Amino acid sequence: MNNTDSNTKGFSGLQVFMMILAVMVLSVMITSWVIFSDIFASKFEPVTLNAQEEQVLTEKLNKLGINVEQKNKHINDVLEPEAYSEIDAKREIVLSEKEINAMLAKNTDLADKLAIDLSDDLMSAKLLLPLDKELPIVGGKTLKVTAGVELAYKNDKPVVIIKGVSIWGVPVPTAYLGDLKNLDLVQEFGGTGFWRNFANGLNGLQVEDGSLRIKVKE
């Protein structure tokens, strides 16, 4: 009976075994490639601005009262006193994706560990975390975590929704995120504390492909 079935299918027991072995080897090769090329990623290339882009960003930050040019002045320079005024105060700022990543690269130690992507109503992040060298197998490698957050301004209030978090390219279950996935944090927690103040202070929040626009209230 067995011989008949084997001859009918056209494969001997040895041939079936070799095919299974080949599939197993191929699976191991593919898995290894994924692990070392994606999961254990290399560091990001820090984003830099050219002189003109740097000047544009400096002007934006200066309008917000962040005087980055002051760092280049002599230590003995004296600030000139002036009366406080909100007349003609700028209440909106637009930052490009490149400017945000350049600020991270220049002012934090996250230059080669964090990268921000901006698309319509979505801010995405990739974070590289070094693993302890004492860990078995994966020790000394770099773990890649990705996340996405919906940012928008609808019905006269900001919208902040965690779209998901992935570790090793595997989405983290909603339960592991405290059931916060796909939940509007402002609507859920906007009654008190930080989220209430955050919502009350904004008059606009918009993420477009490559740019972030924030407008604050008076």
Tens digit of each residue's pLDDT (9 = 90 or more) over 103-123: 888 777 777 788 889 999 999
CA distance 16 to 39: 33
Residues 205 and 147 in one domain: yes
Residues 187 and 206 in one domain: yes
Residues 28 and 80 in one domain: no
CA distance 142 to 127: 10
The domain total for the chain is 2
Provide the whole-model pTM.
Answer: 0.65
Give the start-end residues of each E strand in 57-111: 92-96
CB-CB neighbours of 105 under 10 Å: 20
pLDDT number for residue 152: 92
The neighbouring-strand residues paired with 115 are 126
Region of residue 153 (left: phi > 0; alpha: psi -120 to 50; beta: else): beta
pLDDT number for residue 163: 92
Pinpoint the alpha helices (H) of 78-206. Answer: 97-107, 185-189, 193-201
Parent domain of 122 = 43-216
Confidence of residue 154 (pLDDT cuts 50, 70, 90): very high
Q: Which long-range contacts (CB under 8 A, 24 or more apart) does 179-188 make?
A: 184/159, 184/160, 185/160, 185/161, 186/157, 186/158, 186/159, 186/160, 187/157, 187/159
Residues 152 and 126 in one domain: yes
pLDDT number for residue 119: 94
CA distance 168 to 40: 8
Residues 7 and 53 in one domain: no
Residues 82 and 125 in one domain: yes
pLDDT tens readout for residues 13-26:
555 555 555 655 55
Residues 33 and 47 in one domain: no
Residues 78 and 179 in one domain: yes
